[in-house]
Amino acid sequence: MSFKFNKFFVITCLLIGHVHSQDIKNSIPAIGDRVSGVVSLEQEKQIGTQFLKQIYAQAPLVNDALIQEFTELLIYKISETSLVQDRDFKLVIIDDRSLNAFAAPGGVIGVNAGLFIHAENEAQFASVIAHELAHVSQRHFARGILRGQDTNLASALVLISSIALAIISNNPGAFIAGPAALAQEQLRYSRIFEREADRFGFNNLINAGYDPRSMGEMFENMAKLRKLSGDLPPEFLLTHPVTSSRISDAFNAVDQVGIVGGKTNSPDFQFIKGRIEAQYHNSNLNSEAFFKQKYSRNPSVQNAISYVTVLSKNQKFSEAKNILSTLLENFPKNITLKVIEAEIFFNDGDLDRALSIVDEILKLAPNNFPASVLKAKVLEFKGEFLFAEQLVRDQLIKRNNDPDLWFLLSEIQRSAKNIIGYHLSKGEYFILLGQYDRALNELKFALSKVENNFQVTETIFSKMDEIKSLEKNS
C-alpha cells in the first residue's frame, strides 16, 4: 500500500519547532478515515517499532530506573487529560545534556536528559510533554504524509532511520536537503502543526492542573539558551528557533483563559533534576566541591540530592547517608528517596540493609519498578539467583520491550551459570536492538547446549523463525 510522506514535515513533528505569531483560525482537519486510509494506526506502529530499534541500537540511553519511572508516570498523568486515545507509550531517555524532546509514530515519546536540566520546574517540563502529546493526538505524522508526495512504507522506514540518526547525533539539519522553495513551503505547513500542538498542549497543561504560565516560561528558557550559546548554539535551536512572538503568544493565552496558579513543582521532580544535574556536571571540574558549595549556600532538596549523588559516586557513603537522612526526616515515605537510600547501602556493600529498605518500599508499592530492579541486583550479589530472575521476569510482563531489563536478566542468568537462559535472554536483547545476526548466533549457541529437551528446542526454533521473519521485513 502506498501513502504520502513529507520529510521536511517529520523533523518538526519529532522535535519542538518554530511557530508564527498570527492567530490561526483554520479548523482542524478531520482525523479519521481519510488519514487512516493513507497511513493506518497499525502502519504508524510499524514505523514506530523500526524507529525505536534505531534508537536502541545507536543512541546512548539513560539506564536509570528512577528517572525512567518518574518520566513514564508524568507522561501517563498528562496524557489522561489529553486527546490521545491509544496511551500505549514507549519512552526513551537519550543520554545527552542538550535540550530536546520528540514524539514519533506508534506512541514513541523521547526526551533528552537535558530537558530536566533546562526546565526549572515540573510544570515547565510538563509543558514540553504536553506539546509532544498534542502531536500524537492530532496525528500530525499521518496528516503530514497526507500532504506530501507519494512514496511507500519501505521509503518511510528508511527515512525514519535517518531521523533517528539525526536525533542521536543531535544534528537534525543533517538530512534536511532539497530545493529551498520546497523546504520553505513544507516548513510553512509544519508550523501550522506546531501552532496546533502549542494550542492543544496548552489546554492539556491546564487540564492536568499545571500553572499555565509554565509554557511561556519554558519558551523563555529556550530563548535564553540560544542567546547564551553565541556562535555555537545547539542544532536544535538553529533549526527550530523560539521567537519573541511565540513567547508573547504563550503568555497572551494565559491572560485570555484567566486562570491563575496551578501546580508548579514537586519534590520528586527536584530529586530527579538534582540527580541528573550531578551526573552531567562538567567532569573537568571538581563536582564534589561544586555541589558542596551549592548545597551550603542553598540547602534545597534539589541541591541536596545533587550533593548526595556526587558523594556516592566518590564512595563517600557515610557523608551521603547523613545528607540523605535530613531529607528523609522531611519526606519519610517518599519512594524516590528510599530507593536512593537503598542504592547507597547497596553500593557501600551493606546488602542486608539495602534489601530491608527495598522490601519496605515494595510493601508500600508492590511491583515498583526501580525498587524491583534494585532488589534483583541485591539478590544477585547475595547469590539468590532464582528470586532475582523472577523479579526481573515479573517486570518483563509489562516491559517486554525494555532491552535493559533483558540485559539485566541475562547477567543474572550468567551469574547463576544458566548458560541456555543467558543466551536466550541475550537473544531477546539483540532482537530489540534490531541486531538479528547477533540474536540468531545467541540462539544457535543456546540450541547447542540443549540436551533431550523437546520443549526448549521447539521454543528456540520458533524464536529463530521469528527473527528471520523480522530480518526479512526490516
Helices (runs of H) and strands (runs of E) counted in the chain: 24, 5
**CA atoms of 105 and 141, how far apart (whole Å):** 7
> How far lies 209's CA from each of 80, 124, 131, 213, 214, in Å?
11, 13, 15, 12, 11
Query: Mean pLDDT for each 10-residue chunk of the chain (474 residues)?
Result: 34 36 35 54 80 86 96 96 88 90 86 94 96 83 60 52 56 40 44 82 94 92 79 55 78 84 94 96 82 96 97 96 97 96 98 98 96 98 98 96 96 97 96 92 94 89 91 74
Do 436 and 474 touch, CB atoms closer than 8 A?
A: yes
In angstroms, what is the C-alpha Rg of the chain? 24
Burial of 67 per CB tally in 10 Å (0-12, 13-18, 19+) = buried
Q: What is the DSSP string of 39-93?
A: S-HHHHHHHHHHHHHHHHHHS-B---HHHHHHHHHHHHHHHTTSS-S----EEEE
Q: How many other C-beta atoms are found inside a 10 Å radius of the C-beta of residue 439? A: 25
DSSP string for residues in 96-165: --S--EEEETTTEEEEETHHHHH-SSHHHHHHHHHHHHHHHHTTHHHHHHHHSEEEEHHHHHHHHHHHHH
DSSP label at residue 30:
P
Q: Is the dihedral of CA 19, 21, 22, 27 positive or negative?
A: positive
- What sections of 213-298 are H helices per DSSP? 213-228, 235-239, 244-257, 267-279, 287-297
Q: Does pTM top 0.75 for this prediction?
A: yes
* Per-residue cell: 408: 539485566
**How many whole angstroms from its chain centre is CA 142?**
22
Give the pLDDT score at 180: 38
pLDDT for res 241: 60
Cβ–Cβ < 8 Å for 5, 146: no
Domain segments of the chain as ranges: 2-257
CA count, 13 A, side-chain hemisphere, 448: 7
In whole angstroms, give the CA distance from residue 189 to residue 314.
51
pLDDT at 103: 84
Single-letter amino acid, residue 388: A
Strand partners, 149: 5
Q: Please tell me the predicted confidence (pLDDT) of residue 232.
A: 62
Q: Biggest alpha carbon distance in the chain?
A: 74
Q: What pLDDT does residue 237 have?
A: 58
Cell of 245: 512572538
> Could you give the CA distance from residue 406 to residue 427 in angstroms, rounded to a whole number?
9
Task: State the Cα–Cα distance between residues 121 and 146, nearest whole angstrom.
Answer: 37
